A and B are shown apart, each in its own frame.
Chain A
């Protein structure tokens, strides 16, 4: 069974700092998604990456997909308290009819 690993598990930083979180797999991803979950809410999609080496930017967030499509990173520049939440990576799989498998998440806390 392919597992998704995320690191770090927890991250607490000061407002204005930069950070990077990671998602890794033992196998090749078909496609990878990043979701953010805020307290008391369900996860919300941030981005989907499909092509090895792909880089996507969403304001202060930069997403990279590894060349071999076995890893991905999310970099946040000048973090703000509003970035606080649980960041989940997820892969869409075909063994359950294109259902999704989620990593355990990185819990980010940005202190003012």
Chain B
């Protein structure tokens, strides 16, 4: 099994629908991140969490919310999806006291029609 698992891998939805992307990890890392990837723009940080009780906005948090249900689980929600939220979403983890390296999931491709 992958260290960082994202579900669903692909999702097509309609404008206005609520969508949740889930991330779970088996690495025991305390820090978890949600990134969005668009062609030519690289990875942009949406939200990050340093532990279960710590949630922080990234550079593009508008239109998104997150929940850290447990140390191993970090979900991203789009309350009312819009077409410009069509993108590839990545969850990543790292340990605060370990190597300064991000471990990524395989990504969730979201299409909003």
A interface, CB within 8 angstroms of B: 4, 9, 31, 33, 40-45, 48, 88, 90, 92, 96-105
Residue of A nearest to B38 (CB): A104
Binding site for A on B (CB under 8 A): 4, 33, 35, 40-45, 48, 50, 56, 58, 90, 92, 100-102, 104-107
Query: Would you mind naming 26 contact pairs between A and B with Cβ atoms under 8 Å apart?
Result: A33-B100, A40-B106, A41-B107, A42-B4, A42-B104, A42-B106, A42-B107, A43-B104, A44-B104, A45-B101, A45-B102, A48-B100, A88-B43, A92-B100, A96-B58, A97-B48, A97-B50, A99-B33, A99-B45, A100-B43, A102-B35, A102-B43, A102-B44, A104-B40, A104-B41, A105-B42
Q: How many A-B pairs with Cβ below 8 Å?
A: 55
Contacts of A102 in B (CB 8 A): 35, 42-44
**Which residue of chain B is the closest to A1 with respect to CB atoms?**
B59
Q: Say yes or no: B92 contacts A42, CB within 8 Å.
A: yes
Residues of A within 8 A of B41 (CB): 104
